[in-house]
Amino acid sequence: MRGPWGAVILAAVALFCSAATAQARAPAQGPEGALLLIDADNGAVLQAENATHPWYPASLTKVMTAYLVFEALADGRLKFDDKVPVSRYAALQDPVKLGLGIGKQVRVKSLLEAMLVMSANDAAVVLAEAIAGSEAVFAEMMTRKARQLGMTGTIFRNASGLPDPDQVTSARDLAILARAVITNFPEHYGYFSRDHFSVSREVHPSTNGWVRAYPGAEGLKTGFTCGSGYNLIGAATREGRRLIGVVLGATSSGARNARMSQLMDGGFASLSDLSDVQLHAVKVGALPWEPVGAAPFVLSGKRCKVDATPVKYTAEDDGTLPGWGMIFGAFPSRSEAGSVLERNVGAVKELVGEARPVILPKIKGTPLRYTALLVGLDQRGAGQACQQLRERGVFCQAMPPVALNNPQALWR
């Protein structure tokens, strides 16, 4: 039977991931996929299916990360030859990653190549931290930039595209983003078409097989999680006409690439048959944002190596949190609670091991505040880690299981 407060627990953030929480939910019924094809020159919509349906972007997120990197390069905040440090948080990102060592200094250009060619999550986070100081702050910058570009249905919570239930987009918004990259940063657009890059004498191939196989293909990016399916933003040019395509929710990389090729073939074939009136009838920015429920989970079940729900930890059905906990205080926003978790966990990683970061809304009091804590520790580990943090001037309270799971406890 569910405990007295179990129903209000929000999903915990994954270890060292951006701290965004959402209620755990069952896989939603949604469309089998989404696609969109536009004329890159004028934004005219040539074909669209479920183009405004919310979707998990997976590593297509990195296109926006790259956009903000290009902006930083343009205004001098970054230079390609700058060497930036790899934080513990960045180094411990889930694969795919380059495997950057903690404290290593890496050139911005190498990080950009690693992020766009092999889709390295650690490289994305290092770049985010170099620009904004933390991934959480960078994600807020990403969302603001999305709004400025007209991506009205997109929310970013991290720089890499690792699963987060709050991070959503649509085919419409991704096409707008791709067009903005091509228009605003033509000098950097070539990074999206590279078929390999080299670092430390190792050659890493591109994850984007479609670019190598399709005549006239120029990029841009692939992505996959179990929550999103196989995704692709593509651009191609023939006879001086450039098209941008988006395919979301394919069931395999082969199906994704084939669908994009079909989409492009049909688009190029139709251009000569369309009048100027038809080409200018509907622009991608005019497609409405019409939410139709939660973003779909398209590849749940045994095929996936992770749970179909893009949440790596939730409370047990009876509402209990495992083991001893470490409480770091209550904060006015989830992002602030997440930043505290990121900083504190990084400071005592050697003591807390595989403990789970959790953000919980406080049951008592107004306005709503969010408690940041670690769970799944033993008594000694929680005590030692809290003591080490307190010596650094950080608030920390070790909490035994009986108090951790008491809904009447003062911290709740």
The single residue of 18, 62, 134, 221 carrying the catalytic annotation is 62
Q: In terms of pLDDT, which residue wins out, 292 or 397?
A: 397
SS3 90: helix
Q: Is 110 buried (19+), middle (13-18) or exposed (0-12) by CB count in 10 A?
A: buried
Average pLDDT over the chain, rounded to an integer:
81
**What is the DSSP code string of 318-330?**
T-PPPSEEEEEEE
Return the pLDDT at 348. Answer: 87
Return the pLDDT at 330. Answer: 84
Mean pLDDT over 155-165 rounds to 91
Residue 402 has pLDDT above 90, yes or no: no
The single residue of 18, 87, 110, 119 carrying the catalytic annotation is 119
Task: Tell me if 189 sits within 8 A of 196, measured CB to CB.
Answer: no
Q: Which helix (H) or strand (E) holds 242?
A: strand 241-250
The single residue of 18, 59, 206, 335 carrying the catalytic annotation is 59
Return the pLDDT at 301. Answer: 53
Return the pLDDT at 293. Answer: 59
Residue 119 among the catalytic residues: yes
Confidence of residue 334 (pLDDT cuts 50, 70, 90): confident
Return the pLDDT at 316. Answer: 34
* Residue 291 C-beta-side C-alpha neighbours within 13 Å: 9
Mean pLDDT over 16-32 rounds to 37
Residue/partner pairs of 119-122 with CB below 8 Å, 24 or more apart = 119/59, 119/62, 119/207, 119/221, 119/222, 119/223, 120/96, 121/93, 121/94, 121/95, 121/96, 121/97, 121/160, 121/161, 121/162, 122/86, 122/90, 122/91, 122/93, 122/97, 122/98
CA dihedral 102, 67, 147, 290 (to 10 degrees): -90
Task: Tell me if 245 sits within 8 A of 219, measured CB to CB.
Answer: no
β-sheet bridge partners, residue 331: 370
- Strand order in 45-49's β-sheet? 45-49, 34-39, 241-250, 229-238, 217-225
Return the pLDDT at 364. Answer: 58
β-sheet bridge partners, residue 221: 233
* Percent with pLDDT over 70 in the chain: 79
E strands in 59-116? 83-85, 105-107
Return the pLDDT at 235. Answer: 98
Backbone angles phi, psi at 279, to 5 degrees: -65, -25
265-315: pLDDT as tens digits: 999 998 876 655 555 567 888 887 665 556 766 665 555 544 433 333 333
* Percent with pLDDT over 90 in the chain: 46
Backbone angles phi, psi at 33, to 5 degrees: -175, 175
Residue 110 among the catalytic residues: no
Return the pLDDT at 320. Answer: 72
Domains of the chain: 6-22+311-404 (3.30.70.1070), 34-196+212-286 (3.40.710.10)
pTM: 0.68
Mean pLDDT over 89-104 rounds to 87
Residue 121 has pLDDT above 90, yes or no: yes
